[in-house]
């Protein structure tokens, strides 16, 4: 006779696609919830970062891999794997505000037997686009709302009664708003959907995921900024993260005393808040250091992109414990303050990477190896002259470790630090 497993109170369904950075944060926050009677159903959309390894590290038992992403199909699949009383859908980049996020969701449903589903509050982060911040400020208030004829729900942070979802599935033919469509049908069945402001999450991207801002939205958010208390938001602080370091000593041989000086700067007592997992040195020189447990010497090739990919795949398991990679060129004039400045600019998640840059203003001709050029040769006043933005490799960059897999240290969304 097969013994039936005990029915859990709630299943938390998390969908993921190459979001290892966020996954580590959200799983940490779920693990410290005061309400413990839950399971996690993790559905991965064919990730090629180390998301699966992270899920296993947090001892998630229900891990599933799916290829073609259709929101409704993924949600319905998660429902099919749950036998709990409630199902919570949580976006991988929606981070519970406190330890009572889960308990408050459960209590709200238990105390409102007439509702079939509910959604919780979403709060912007310091790096959130101002239009997305305004959306959240308008949609998610403090008082509860009960939708009878004006349906709305957001599956970024929502809870459903499992028996209702088993009977009424999400639309599998649409690429978005599957939650809104479900809510519309629920209201037609005379079912009630509610909103609670007591189950709060931080959400960088917002509801509509605007890419551009306006002067009006920026000025409005400056006035509303004081409404948000980010003091408890530990995951936007530097000391929350683990870092790995790449010292680029390729090309001309870097003197050993300069490498030692760099390492000494990185280990200053004033930098004690920095958690360094590994230090990689790209150098043809023999490196002899007394304290070299964290140090890995990499024989460089002629191609930096190839070297970065080599570091990623040769030390694949290391990236579970690394949040950001600090890339320093040995040719730069580094100090503790310049390194700290670089780290500070990347801690609010508004950018996946930050790079030092400089501006060149004046006349110039840019020639391309494959032919063609860009030129600016007008002899006009300096204020009217165009400028070139030049990435300053001698002053390095910081980026999330998944960039290594792609062989890059910056992309078009990189924040430039002048």
Q: How far apart are CA 286 and CA 295, in angstroms?
A: 12
Residue 250's pLDDT is what? 78
Reply yes or no on whether the pLDDT at 272 is more than 50.
yes
Smallest Cα–Cα separation from 57: which of 248, 243, 351, 318? 318
What average pLDDT is seen over the chain? 87
**pLDDT tens per residue across span 233-255:** 888 887 788 888 898 887 666 66
- Is the predicted pLDDT of residue 1 greater than 50, yes or no? no
- CA gap 414, 409 in Å, rounded: 9
Structure tokens at 141: 């208030």
**pLDDT classification of 347: cutoffs 50, 70, 90:** low
Confidence of residue 55 (pLDDT cuts 50, 70, 90): very high
* Nearest alpha-carbon partner for 129 in 207, 245, 75, 74: 207
**CATH tag, 10-236:** 3.90.550.10
When pLDDT is averaged across residues 37-47 and rounded to a whole number, the result is 96
Task: Tell me the domain boundaries of the chain.
Answer: 10-236, 238-351+394-411, 357-391
Instruction: Return phi, psi of residue 47, to 5°.
Output: -65, 145
Length of the chain: 418
- Structure confidence at residue 157 (pLDDT): 97
Q: Tell me: pLDDT of 216 over 90.
A: no
CB count within 10 Å of CB 154 equals 22
Q: Model's pTM, two decimal places? A: 0.87
The answer on pLDDT for 290 being more than 70 is no
pLDDT of residue 16: 96
Q: Among candidates 125, 121, 356, which has minimal Cα distance to 230? A: 125
Looking at 222-361, which runs of residues are DSSP E strands?
Answer: 242-248, 275-282, 295-298, 324-329, 353-361
- Assign 3-class secondary structure to 86-115: EEEEEECCEEECCCCHHHHHHHHHHCCCCE
Query: Who has greater pLDDT, 93 or 344?
Result: 93
Residue 58's nearest CA partner among 71, 74, 39 is: 39
Which residues share a beta bridge with 146?
A: 194
Tokens representing residue 190 in the block: 């005379």
């Amino acid at each position: 006779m097969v013994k039936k497993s005990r029915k859990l109170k709630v299943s938390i369904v998390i969908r993921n696609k190459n979001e290892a950075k966020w996954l580590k944060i959200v799983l940490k926050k779920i693990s410290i919830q005061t309400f413990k009677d839950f399971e996690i159903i993790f559905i991965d959309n064919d990730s090629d970062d180390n998301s699966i390894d992270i899920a296993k590290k947090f001892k998630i038992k229900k891990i599933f891999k799916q290829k073609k992403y259709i929101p409704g199909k993924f949600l319905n699949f998660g429902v099919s794997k749950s036998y709990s009383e409630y199902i919570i859908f949580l976006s991988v980049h929606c981070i519970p505000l406190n330890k009572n996020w889960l308990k408050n969701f459960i209590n709200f449903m238990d105390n409102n037997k007439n509702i079939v589903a509910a959604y919780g509050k979403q709060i912007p982060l310091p790096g959130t686009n101002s239009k997305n911040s305004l959306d959240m400020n308008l949609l998610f208030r403090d008082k509860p709302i009960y939708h009878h004829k004006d349906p709305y729900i957001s599956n970024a942070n929502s809870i459903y009664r499992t028996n209702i979802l088993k009977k009424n599935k999400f639309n599998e033919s649409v690429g978005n708003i599957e939650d809104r469509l479900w809510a519309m049908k629920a209201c037609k069945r005379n079912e009630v959907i509610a909103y609670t402001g007591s189950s709060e999450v931080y959400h960088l991207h917002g509801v509509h995921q605007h890419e551009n801002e306006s002067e009006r939205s920026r000025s409005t958010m400056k006035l509303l900024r004081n409404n948000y208390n980010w003091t408890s938001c530990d995951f936007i602080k530097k000391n929350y993260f683990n870092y790995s370091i790449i010292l680029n000593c390729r090309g001309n041989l870097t003197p050993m005393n300069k490498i030692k000086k760099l390492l000494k700067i990185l280990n200053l007592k004033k930098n004690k808040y920095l958690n360094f997992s590994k230090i990689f040195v790209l150098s043809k020189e023999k490196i002899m250091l007394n304290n070299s447990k964290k140090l890995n010497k990499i024989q460089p090739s002629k191609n930096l992109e190839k070297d970065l990919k080599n570091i990623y795949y040769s030390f694949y398991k290391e990236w579970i414990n690394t949040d950001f990679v600090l890339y320093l060129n040995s040719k730069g004039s580094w100090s503790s303050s310049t390194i700290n400045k670089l780290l500070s600019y990347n801690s609010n998640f508004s950018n996946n990477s930050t790079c030092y840059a400089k501006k060149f203003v004046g006349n110039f001709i840019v020639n391309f190896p494959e032919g063609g050029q860009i030129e600016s040769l007008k002899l006009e006043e300096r204020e009217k002259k165009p400028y070139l933005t030049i990435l300053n490799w001698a002053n390095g960059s910081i980026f999330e470790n998944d960039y290594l897999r792609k062989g890059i240290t910056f992309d078009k969304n990189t924040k430039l630090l002048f």
